[in-house]
Amino acid sequence: MSDPTGSGGIEGQPGRNLPPLRLHVPEPPARPGESADFTHFDIPAADAAPRPDEAAQPDAMRDMAYGLIRVLDEDGAAVGAWNPKLPPETLLRMLRTMALTRAFDARMFRAQRQGKTSFYMKSTGEEAVSIGAALALSRDDMCFPSYRQQGILLARDWPLVDMMNQIYSNKGDRLKGRQLPIMYSARDAGFFSISGNLTTQYPQAVGWAMASAARGDTRIAATWCGEGSTAEGDFHSACTFASVYRAPVIMNVVNNQWAISSFSGFAGAESTTFAARAVGYGIAGLRVDGNDILAVYAATRWAADRARSNAGPTLIEHFTYRVEGHSTSDDPTAYRSAEESSLWPLGDPIARLKAHCIGLGIWDEDRHAAMDKELAELVRDAAREAEKNGILGHGLHHPMESMFEDVFEEMPRHLKEQQQQMLDEWKAAGL
């Protein structure tokens, strides 16, 4: 007897009349040719979010994971409990660093299209996320970024030429062409080597933070990943360690709503917020308007003060929008509505801070235009300098045989043989 219940189901649970089970497969809100619609986004007023004490228990501040911390309102005024009340020189520094990042991105994107490098990734529209955080951290706090936080290096005044040498994999590249372009590593900037393997930086940041605490140091760690990357196992093991040991770490999730061609629904955005991941781990969770640099700064300061006073880690979701393609290898018009970026209701981070500064009377259109021109020239001059060290395909890279070096203190015999074999084969091929 194959079915003793005669129900087609489990004994005592007749299943014959039940509807068949089915899966929910998320669908992005708009495909190419369709009109984008962001009206379903609930955008609270800029002064709506309360500001809990930095030492608040995570379960006493759960609502923060479902709201949206904002400071700059629709008129460009800074309002509410999270207003960091920054002096004019800090506001203008933020503006300049965001504009510099955009100018750098524009130039390097063009360099890729001109064949000077194989790959580039822009951070257009997301500049506030990295720069607001970098300026809120101490210079010696350790950053474990993903590939879209070049703004951290620029906020820490890292030389443009050094970054470009890496992008060109030329003879000036400190990483000797061993990393994909844009996967920088800058120890002196407290900027951990970027890895293409998504989310590996999360457990590394938590481990670094734990080590800092174990040694009785005062430096904290901060890390960034995309919303798509929260689906990686590494994200979850990092959250467990951070929660258990109350590691002094800030875990940033940059929700730019796209993971290459997958919209955020595939990482769970249809069910809850990314900040709400913190709730299940008993971690403080903040959800922030990622296009509002004052909100990013204020939330990061809150989390840094919390970490530094041993009150525990914070998970911050930065709600933003990826304005451009994922990388130079991507064409977003193939999978999303072309209208989306112009309809995105939280605006552009540079335009918003600029309006704020003009409203304060510390900035104007003429000065902004002059700054953009100056920064474009600065980036152009740096690119010319870097290009003297070589560009893609012009042979001015580190010697190929150097790829065998720097692994062992002394190169073992088998590697020496392989190195020699490579050189012999090249010679035989007339290269």
Ligand X SMILES: Cc1ncc(C[n+]2csc(CCOP(=O)(O)OP(=O)(O)O)c2C)c(N)n1
For the segment 199-228, give every residue that binds ligand X (CB under 6 A): 225-228
On whether the CB atoms of residues 164 and 198 are closer than 8 A, the answer is no
Q: How far is the CB of 194 from ligand X (least distance, A)?
A: 11
List residues near Mg ion by CB under 5 A. Answer: 226-228, 256, 259
326 belongs to the binding site for ligand X (CB under 6 A): yes
Q: Number of residues interacting with ligand X: please give it, by CB under 6 A.
A: 16
Single out the residue of 71, 154, 259, 353 in contact with ligand X (rule: CB under 6 A).
259
Name the residue with the smallest CB distance to ligand X: 226
Residue 84 and residue 294 in contact, taking contact as beta carbons nearer than 8 Å: yes
* 325 interacts with, out of ligand X, Mg ion, none, CB within 5 to 8 A per kind: none
Three-state DSSP state, 407: coil
Nearest-angstrom CA–CA distance, 10 and 18: 12
Find where tokens 């074999």 sit: 421
Interface residue with ligand X, options 222, 254, 276, 283 (CB under 6 A): 254
Residue 290 within binding range of ligand X, rule CB under 6 A: no
CB of 200 to ligand X, least distance (A): 8
104 binds ligand X (CB under 6 A): no
Question: Which member of 196, 233, 280, 393 binds ligand X (CB under 6 A)?
Answer: 196
* 325 is a contact residue toward ligand X (CB under 6 A): no
Query: Toward ligand X, which CB reaches closer, 54 or 227?
Result: 227
Question: Residue 244 Cβ, how far from ligand X at the closest point, in Å?
Answer: 24
DSSP-assigned letters across all residues of 234-281: HHHHHHHHHHHHT-SEEEEEEE-SEETTEEGGGGTTTTS-STTHHHHH
Output the six-digit token pair for 324.
């451009």
Window of 8-16, 169-177, 196-204, 406-414 that interacts with ligand X by CB under 6 A: 196-204
Q: Which is nearer to ligand X, 255 or 314 (CB)?
A: 255
Smallest separation, CB 121 to ligand X (Å): 8
Nearer to ligand X by Cβ, of 46 and 121: the residue is 121
Pairing state of beta strands 314-319 and 284-289?
parallel
Q: Residue 318 binds which entry of Mg ion, ligand X, none, with Cβ cut-offs from 5 to 8 Å by kind?
A: none
Give the whole-angstrom CA distance, residue 144 versus residue 94: 21
Residue 317 interacts with ligand X (CB under 6 A)? no
How far apart, in Å, are the Cα atoms of 82 and each of 66, 72, 90, 157, 391? 16, 10, 16, 27, 45
Binding mask 147-186 for ligand X (x = CB under 6 A): -x--------------------------------------
Tell me, what DSSP letter sits at residue 52? -
Residue 390, classified by CB atoms within 10 Å of its CB into exposed (0-12), middle (13-18) or buried (19+), is buried
Q: Whole-number minimum distance, CB 146 to ligand X, in Å?
A: 6
Residue appearing with tokens 């919303």: 227
Residue 103: CB atoms within 10 A of its CB come to: 22
CA dihedral 320, 135, 252, 144 (to 10 degrees): 130
**Shortest CB 179 distance to Mg ion, Å:** 21
- Using CB under 6 A as the binding rule, whether residue 297 contacts ligand X is answered as no
Nearest Cα residue to 108 out of 99, 97, 117: 117
Residue among 348 and 387 whose Cβ is closer to ligand X: 348
Min separation Cβ 288 and Mg ion, Å: 15
Q: Residue 247's binding partner, choosing from ligand X, Mg ion, none, with beta-carbon cut-off 5 to 8 A by kind?
A: none
CB of 53 vs Mg ion, minimal distance in Å: 31
φ/ψ (deg, to 5) at 30 = -150, 135
Q: Which of residues 387-426 bind ligand X (CB under 6 A)?
A: none
Q: Is 25 left (phi over 0), alpha (psi -120 to 50) or beta?
A: beta
* 305: CB partners within 8 A, 6+ apart: 54
Q: Which residues bind ligand X (CB under 6 A)?
A: 148, 196-198, 225-229, 254, 256, 258-260, 322, 326
